[in-house]
Structure 1
Amino acid sequence: MLGRFRRRLGAYYERLLQRELDGPDRAPTHVAVIQDGNRRYARRKGEAATAGHRAGAETTERVLEWCQDVGVSELTLYAFSTENFNRPPDERAALFDLLCEKLREFADADRVHENDVCIRALGDVERLPERVQEAIEYAESRTAQYDRFVLNVALAYGGRNELLTAARSVAGDVERGDLDPDDIDVEAIERRLYERPVRDVDLIIRTGGDERTSNFLPWHANGNEAAVYFCTPHWPAFSRADFLRAVRTYEHRERSWRRTRARRALALLKAVGEPELAEARAVFSRFRDSLPKTERAGALDVAPEGVGPNRVANDHRDGRDADRPE
């Protein structure tokens, strides 16, 4: 009886969280997940580490669906880091077997093809066993034609190594005379990170209780000032409510940042001088119209005096600003 009540309460809470979100047009475009806690989850249940990894793989499938439900277009999963090569051989072997199984299973799944999911691997995949490389090639080739949703699986991945490899490539091109140092820009680096473009990361989620980003996608996350959501559930126990809270955290930060930008812009315009208030009105109006309806009333708080909706008429009178005291 108590279990059924908890399930009903949980379902109600999920619906409440869903209603609080702004909608697909405001959702993060690219979510990156550090799937921490598989082994601790298994230990708490008195099971082997491999059981925790397998339970985590089931969570991964659910998160893919949740991302599509809220309007996310790209998901990156930190599946195997360069540091994971230091784990015991039997645990690594079981992980590699599970990766092979899931990559092939995903590549053949009807839901992947129905939703045009493109599967890609990020990282130094040549360090992986041949059977894993073959599974990666299979999954990528089976889904290469899709572009509606991108699922990146970070394997043998390390952010520092990624940047170091790109830097070495740039240095080599400069030394050979193929690249002028003055032509080194953001695009030059990004072309050397991955064969196909990766969107800037909007939101990083880390499960398991640790509050660090573990060298994950530094170029695309730190450079974009991605929001970060840390939560305590181990990855296999990560729920839809946890996911929705993470998206809500991102949206709250974006709302705050939009208001801050508006305050700065409007304060700057007013500081320039009263005659520029007409332009300020136009800027404020465009900003306010771009907000969700629930935020428009609060946006009035950021408007400088004379820019509110009741003061938008009569721009000038007898060569003087209409809002200037007579």
Structure 2
Amino acid sequence: MLPDWPRALGTPQLSGVLKAQPEDFVVEEVFPVEFSDDGEFDWLWIEKRGDNTEYVARQLARLAGVQPKAVTYSGQKDRQAITRQWFCVHLPGKNFPAWDVPEAETWKILRKGRHRQKLRLGSHRYNRFTLCLSALGGDLDELGHRAAQLSQGVPNYFGEQRFGHQGGNISACQQWFAGTLTPSRFERSMYLSAARSYLFNTVLANRVLDGSWNTGLEGEIYALRDSGSVFSAERNEETLARLASGDIQATGPLFGKAGRLVVSAAAASAEEAVYSLHADLCEGLLKHGLSMERRALRLIPQDFQWQFTGNKSLELSFSLPRGCFATALVRELIRYPLAS
């Protein structure tokens, strides 16, 4: 089981349902594309419902008569949702396929074009979300008060879906590192990602508890709001003012071999305390060649809007940087059952 990571606003007294149906969770990549109308790559703007990204990629490969590795996308999207995203199929020397999607499929092609450039992982910068929280129970005035505070930022936790059902990816990763499990190549990538995410969430949880997640510590590495570029700086009045404005964010570790920039002082102590408790995960990540990266501890939604749409439902709309989870916002508003 995963921990119930501490919240910035405390545990909400309200309960509700997230994803009662796929239409309650709509995600769209913010990624305008202008086709070159030549080249070897077909780009497909696809809407899917109840399918994961890998499934659609495999179906595209089947329709095009190519190997699965010829199909790429910028990011994985939720399964229990309606999502719109770009896919890319490498078709060297081949004509534009008909792309006739079988009627039985729960995904469809909304737009297509040919491009000389390949779509690479992480190409888009933002995702736009429209969520409906339903079956709300509790004091709705409290819910409105909490929603009004979200624009100031929330802890940037990795969502529970990163860790598999009941956190199973973490236990599987530990078994792999201990030599008692032999995962597939896809599973290995998934387990490594889960392990790094778990360590990050644990560091962030501790810093939510001590109040430093949005104020920084001595020896911190910071990230710029727009570019994500990281740098070290003294914790002085200027740094605190930039933190308060949201111009920069304190960061936490995506664990791996240390690089050029390293935390020190209080920030280093906070991270090393977590590493010592999870030495098996740290040793395994180093063994498999992971390098240290940084991720912002605070998540500030863009264009955040909310409104009650009935006596017991709330609609949220906002944009988040690539790789950030909408559930980080939702968990500050309501308690909801985890998807099975």
Give the structure-1-normalised TM-score: 0.24
Q: Which has the higher helix share?
A: 1
Relative contact order (C-alpha < 8 Å, sep 6+): which is higher?
Answer: 2
Give the structure-2-normalised TM-score: 0.23
Q: Rg larger in 1 or in 2?
A: 1
